[in-house]
Amino acid sequence: MKAFILFGALLFGTSLHAAELKLELGANSRTWQTEELLKHPQVQTITINDDVSYKRDMRYQAVPLAALLTGIKPDDHLQAVALDGFAAELAAGPLLNAKGAQAWLAIEDPAKPWPPLSEGKPGAGPFYLVWTDPKAGNISPEQWPFEVASIKRLAPVAERFPALLPDPALKADDPVNKGFALFQKNCLACHRLNGAGDAQFGPDLNIPYNPTEYFGADFLKRYIRDPQSLRQWPQAKMPAFSEQVLPAGDLDLLVGYLKHMAGRKVKP
């Protein structure tokens, strides 16, 4: 009897471990099963050079993300939510590109699971948003969410979370507003600020204290560049933001936004 059960588990293992991806796109919402995506007419094998999460070249079965975003327009806003609470805020425009930096949904085949991201950690599956030619679109590491469970169409961040907004008296092209845009792209997937945001991953960056209030000199910039150079612990998850990902000028703008928001605390 035990042998029969074991044989059955091996025979039907794929279906037992299949996953589902929820696309909450309004009238075009639907749920995709792993098996459906692996049979999608546009699925193909792609190679990702120097994969952001695996730090090496990887090959995936993947579907162009644009093929799944039915009814989505370039000026829409999307959020990819991972199983661990990581919530990547994504402008729809780059996700719909067919040339240059192109977004793909990589699909883990339960019969051929992906390797762990590091010792003692799970892999990037069941679904992973990856990019071909990311440099062409200045794609940041935060735009590579793995363990994706859902993709939602939502109102832009500024509409959903007014507590994140800089002083409205500032001009649109003020450096602080440019820093706010960089904060949304690089930080909001993991952190909240003034209690605002959907991430459940890292600490709030303004309540009770803003990091510009307790990091002296240029240590905040050093921390953003290489967190492990200042603080080390086994479960540390904050990635390093190299100058290629976040140029020196952009880092200055980001820190400028944080300094500005230290004077705009709103208790959640």
Give the residue with greater pLDDT, 169 vs 236: 169
Of 10, 84, 70, 7, residue with least CA distance to 40:
70
The CATH class, in words, for 19-154 is alpha beta
Span 126-147, mean pLDDT? 94
Q: What's the rounded Cα separation, in Å, for the pair 144 and 54? A: 11
Quote the pLDDT of residue 245: 83
Of 209, 194, 179, residue with least CA distance to 266:
194
Find out whether 243 and 224 touch, Cβ atoms under 8 Å.
no
Q: What is the pLDDT of residues 19-55, one digit of tens each?
A: 999 999 999 999 999 999 999 999 999 999 999 999 9
Span 190-200, mean pLDDT? 91
Quote the pLDDT of residue 235: 66
Quote the pLDDT of residue 102: 97
Q: What is the DSSP letter of 239?
A: P
Phi then psi for 186, rounded to 5 degrees?
Answer: -110, -20
> Is 2.60.40.420 the CATH number for 158-262?
yes
CA distances from 263 to 56, 131, 190, 213 (A): 42, 37, 22, 10
Q: What is the mean pLDDT of the chain?
A: 90
Q: Which residues contact 243 (CB under 8 A, 6 or more apart)?
A: 225
Residues in the chain: 268
Query: Per mean pLDDT, which range of 125-129, 168-172, 236-240 is the poorest?
Result: 236-240
Extents of the domains making up the chain: 19-154, 158-262
